[in-house]
Structure 1
C-alpha cells in the first residue's frame, strides 16, 4: 500500500541523483511512496511499471529495468535476493532521510549485506536462511545418463559393410533400403537415424470413398422455418467484391471505418441468402444518399420489396387477390372512381 513520504530539497542537487537519467530519477522518486516502512520493495520491472508508470505506455518494462540498473550503479538502491529466493530491492539511506513514527513490520526478506541485524519478514527476526547457490555448474549434469547412446551418436559404419538382413527380408531389398537411407560425406557412409524396415506395414493406405467437390453441402442455413435460400456456391459474388464496386464508384475513397462497417453488414446480408443484385442495389442507393452504414439493410430491403418490383404487389390480408397494395392518398378529382374498391 503506498504511503506519504518525504522528499528533501537536496535530492535534486545530489551528485548520485544527477548521475542517472531523468526517467531513472522519476522511477527512484516513485519508489519512495511504494516501498514499505523499511524501504523494501519487489525487484520486478513489470510490477514497478504498473504502479509508477501506469499511464505511460511508452515507458515499458525494458526501460524500467534500465532505470533500475542506473539506480543500482549510482548506489541509490540495492538489489538483492531474499531468503525465499525472490528478487527484492531497498533504498540506500532510507533511515537517514525517512522518519517513520510507528513503522509496521516488513513482510519482505532483509538485505543481509546492508542490514544483517534488521528483522526479516519470512524469518520473523534476524535472517537465518540465506539463498544458496546451485551446486551444479551451468549447463552441466551430476551424473551420466544410464540410457545407451542413440543411433545418431553411434560411430558411422563404413559404406562397404552392408547391414545384416533381419527376419524374412531378402538381401537385395535390404541393400536398396540401406542405400536410400545412407548419405555420403567425404567418401564415408553415414547411416540416417533409422534403419530399414524388415516388413511392410499391415495397414493399407486409406482411400476416399467419393471425390471432393467445392462449395458447401448444406442447402439450408439452419433456420427453423423454410427460407428457400441455398448456401452460396463457389462462383458467387463475395462481400469484398461488392464493397470494391462501391469504393470504385465513389469520387474519393471513403474512410476505413465506413468501408469496414459496410463490409461486415454486406457479408452478413450475403450469409442470410440475399442475392448479390439486391445488395448491390442497396449499396448503389447508399452511395446516392450516404448516411450511417447501419442503414444499408433497410436500403437492401427497399430494393427487395420496392413497389412495382419482383417482391412487391402483395395485397393486404383479408382482401381479394385483385386488390392492389396500399397506395398513398393523392386527392383525385373523382375519389369514388379512383378508390372504388377501397372506400
Structure 2
C-alpha cells in the first residue's frame, strides 16, 4: 500500500461508514498501534510482544447493514451519516465488495414502490459463495400479496440472489447461502454473525494456526460461532470441543461437522452464564476464545484457575481484551505474542490475536 493523503471516497466526512480516510497509511497504522499500546500500558501488559499491524484492503467487506428511506419520491439508500440517524445516499463505497455495491441501483428501484414516504427499511446483505443473501426488514413494508411476491421474486432472479427474505417471509431461495472455513462449506445467514470478509477469515485463521502447537490432542473452541476456527483446529487436533449459545450458528456448524465424526464435538452453552470450569478444562491442551465485544471475563477467571497450558485469544475489542488478558496474567499466564489485524478499514476498530502460556507448562 502507498500513502493516501486525500480521502479516496467522495462521501468521506458525511458517511458514517469510515472515519479515518484522511490519514496516510503510516499515520493510520501508527494511530491504531498507539491506541493499543496505551491500553496495554494501562493494564501493565508488555508492549514488546505486539507485531506490526496487518491491514485488510478495501472493497472486501462481505456484509452490510443498509438503511433506506424515501425523500421526495427518491430512495436514499446507504449508511447513517456520521453522528446522526440521517441516511447518506451511497453513490460510492471503498469498503464494500463490488457485488454488494452493484446491488444498490436495482435495490433503489425496487424500494421506490415498497417504501412509503418518509418511512424506513433496513436491508441486511451478505456476500456468499453462491450469491447474495438479502433480508429486508421494516414494519412499514406493505403486506405481501401475489403481485408483490411476483415482483420480489423477479428482482431476486434478475439479481441472481442466493436468497431473499422480507421480514419473516422467504420470497425465494435459489441456493443455500454458504461460506467456506478451511475448505469446509458451512451454511451462512445475513442475519447471523460472520467476520467482515473472507480475507479476515483467512488472516485470522493463519494467525491462530501459527500460534497453535503442531499436534494438540484436545482443543476447546469457546464462542465458536459457525466454526471459523473449529475446522482449522480439527485438521491439527485429535478432537475439538466447540461451544456457543447461538442455536442457528451451532446448527450450521453441527451440519458441517458431520463430515468429521468424532473429531468435532459441539455443545450449546452460554459461556457468559456458565463458563467452563477448571474441572471441565482439565484435559484441554489449548483453549481458543473468540468472544463478542464485551469480552470473556467470566471464562478468563475460570481459565486462570485451570491448568490449561495454552490459551489463544481472538478479540474484536482491545479494551475488553486487556482486562481479560490482565486476569490471565494474574492467574499465571505469560502473554507471549499479539498480532493486531485491521479488518474494518478506515474505522477505529481493531482485532487482536494473542497467545498466552502458563509459566510452568
Please tell me the TM-score bracket, short chain as reference: under 0.3
- Say which structure is richer in helix: 1
Task: Report the TM-score when normalising by structure 1.
Answer: 0.17
Task: Report the TM-score when normalising by structure 2.
Answer: 0.17
- Say which structure is richer in strand: 2
